[in-house]
């Protein structure tokens, strides 16, 4: 029996999580596995009931179980709350407390959808990128972080800080991942300007010495932003720090045709948090338009990384690929030649494909 915590969250979060849970039930049936699911509130939904974005009790359950599947949090209702009380704080707190320092964001382009990305289809042939982003350090967490009075004006300070061990552990994750792929790591930094990037490059080179089978290259982040568009199929694993990874992974998400397609995994020692990369999409909430594929593929990543159930994970990913390449899509990808499905119809198709293949 495997145990997991499910945090549906806000907006379309609950809608896509329902589909992921449907898929999990299909996996139970097909692979004779058992999952115990405990559901908790997070984000705005939790603020409305408990006055905080996540309760201490939920955080303890997540830490104890070590496996969390999350929908999305946030929405206009809570936009004016002070920074500390906003729904997104639930994510920051969970990432910090679970110490999930490695974020994996795979970007796959399905052949059938190559025409639907704003990037030219011929550039997208064979694109299969894994972005490995450091998640608990750097600019987003460094102290001091403040806005203060300064002479006759205000001054804001953020701090970008990395230690050797923080860089080492995420680099190891990237090299290990590359071993199961095309054996190429592109480390992205800004070492011509930033001290943190100088240390980053030095530590990555040290770690690479333990992986002679992996080809390591370095690229400055501004150049990487450009090369990603010019030659996306030239990348395999991209390893980078928190802020650069945040930006580059959103850039790369465009290749997949819709934000709704993309999964993510945030991994620490014995802990994992799995969530689609999209937000709560309040503009389409409750309309049956949400694409559940990112959430369903996040579930596949959970099965692989937290439970070691590779066959079940592969079966989900193959089913998604078969359904999409057969031309079934949700409203975010609709176009001539494709067949429009609602959120739940898409989930049902993927379930059928798992059970019948």
Across the chain, how many H-helices and E-strands are there? Answer: 12, 14
Q: Cβ 266 to ligand NAD, closest distance in Å?
A: 10
Q: How far is the CB of 7 from ligand NAD (least distance, A)?
A: 10
Is residue 98 part of the contact set for ligand NAD (CB under 6 A)?
no
CB of 280 to ligand NAD, least distance (A): 4
Cα→Cα distances 249→71, 113, 278, 329, Å: 18, 19, 11, 22
102-108 vs 128-134, strand pairing mode:
antiparallel
Nearest C-alpha neighbor of 19 from the set 276, 333, 347, 275: 347
239: left (phi over 0), alpha (psi -120 to 50) or beta: beta
Residue 357: CA atoms inside 13 Å, Cβ hemisphere, count? Answer: 20
* Residue in 10, 236, 246, 332 annotated catalytic: 246
Angle between helices 293-305 and 343-356 (to 10 degrees): 40
In contact, 171 and 202? CB cutoff 8 Å: no
DSSP letter string over 124-162?
Answer: HTT-EEEEEEE-SSGGGTEEEEEEEEETTEEEEEEE---
Q: Is 246 a catalytic residue?
A: yes
Between 66 and 282, whose beta carbon lies closer to ligand NAD? 282
Residue with tokens 């009790």: 57
> Residues 260-279: x/- map of binding to ligand NAD (CB under 6 A)?
x--------------x--xx
Exactly one of 89, 190, 271, 289 is catalytic; name it. Answer: 190
The answer to whether residue 88 forms part of the interface with ligand NAD (CB under 6 A) is yes
Question: Which residue's CB is nearer to ligand NAD, number 53 or number 268?
Answer: 53
Nearer to ligand NAD, 4 or 185 (CB): 4
Q: Of 323, 321, 342, 320, nearest to 331 (Cα)?
A: 342
DSSP secondary structure letters along 9-37: ESTTHHHHHHHHHHHHHHHHHHHT--EEE
Q: Is 202 a catalytic residue?
A: no
Q: Which of 140, 183, 184, 322 is catalytic?
A: 140
Contact segment (CB under 6 A) with ligand NAD among 116-124, 227-235, 256-264, 308-316 equals: 256-264
| By the rule CB under 6 A, 53 interacts with ligand NAD | no
CB of 167 to ligand NAD, least distance (A): 24
Q: Which two tokens stand for residue 214?
A: 């992996």
Tell the smallest beta-carbon distance from residue 2 to ligand NAD (Å). Answer: 24
The answer to whether residue 250 is catalytic is yes
User: ∠23-49-21 over CA atoms, to 5°?
Assistant: 5
The residue from 7, 27, 41, 72 that contacts ligand NAD (CB under 6 A) is 72
The DSSP call for residue 136 is S
Closest distance between ligand NAD and the C-beta of residue 113, in Å?
Answer: 13
Q: How many CB atoms lie within 10 A of CB 160?
A: 18
Q: Which stretch binds ligand NAD (CB under 6 A): 45-53, 107-115, 147-155, 290-298?
A: 290-298
Which residue stretch of 135-143, 168-176, 234-242, 282-290 sits at the interface with ligand NAD (rule: CB under 6 A)? 282-290
Q: Near ligand NAD by CB under 6 A, which window of 19-27, 66-74, 178-186, 307-315?
A: 66-74
Q: Which residues would be at the binding site for ligand NAD (CB under 6 A)?
A: 12, 16, 72-75, 88, 91, 258-260, 275, 278-284, 290-291, 294, 332
């Amino acid at each position: 029996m495997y145990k997991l915590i499910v945090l549906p969250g806000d907006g379309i979060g609950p809608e896509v999580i329902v589909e992921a849970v449907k898929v999990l039930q299909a996996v139970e049936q097909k692979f004779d596995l058992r999952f115990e699911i405990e559901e908790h509130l997070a984000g705005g939904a939790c603020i409305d009931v408990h006055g905080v974005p996540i309760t201490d009790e939920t955080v303890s359950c997540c830490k104890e179980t070590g496996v969390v599947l999350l929908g999305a949090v946030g929405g206009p209702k809570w936009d004016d709350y002070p920074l500390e009380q906003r729904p997104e704080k639930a994510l920051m707190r969970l990432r910090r407390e679970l110490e999930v320092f490695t974020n994996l964001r795979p970007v796959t382009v399905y052949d059938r959808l190559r025409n639907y990305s704003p990037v030219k289809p011929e550039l997208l042939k064979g694109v299969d990128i894994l972005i490995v982003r450091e998640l608990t350090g750097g600019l987003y967490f460094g102290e001091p972080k403040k806005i203060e009075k300064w002479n006759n004006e205000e001054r804001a300070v953020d701090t970008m800080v990395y230690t050797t061990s923080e860089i080492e552990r995420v680099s190891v994750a990237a090299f290990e991942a590359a071993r199961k792929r095309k054996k190429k790591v592109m480390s992205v930094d800004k070492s011509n300007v930033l001290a943190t990037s100088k240390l980053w490059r030095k530590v990555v080179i040290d770690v690479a010495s333990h992986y002679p089978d992996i080809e390591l290259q370095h690229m400055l982040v501004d150049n990487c932003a450009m090369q990603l568009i010019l030659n996306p199929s030239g990348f395999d694993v991209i390893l980078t720090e928190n802020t650069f990874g945040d930006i580059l992974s959103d850039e790369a998400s465009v290749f997949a045709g819709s934000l709704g397609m993309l999964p993510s995994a945030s991994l620490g020692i014995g802990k994992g948090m799995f969530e689609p990369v999209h937000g709560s999409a309040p503009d389409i909430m409750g309309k049956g338009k949400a694409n559940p594929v990112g959430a369903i593929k996040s579930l596949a990543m959970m099965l692989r990384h937290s439970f070691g159930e590779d066959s079940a994970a592969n079966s989900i990913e193959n089913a998604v690929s078969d359904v999409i390449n057969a031309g079934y899509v949700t409203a975010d990808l609709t176009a001539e030649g494709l067949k429009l499905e609602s959120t739940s119809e898409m989930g049902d198709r993927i379930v059928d494909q798992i059970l019948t293949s």
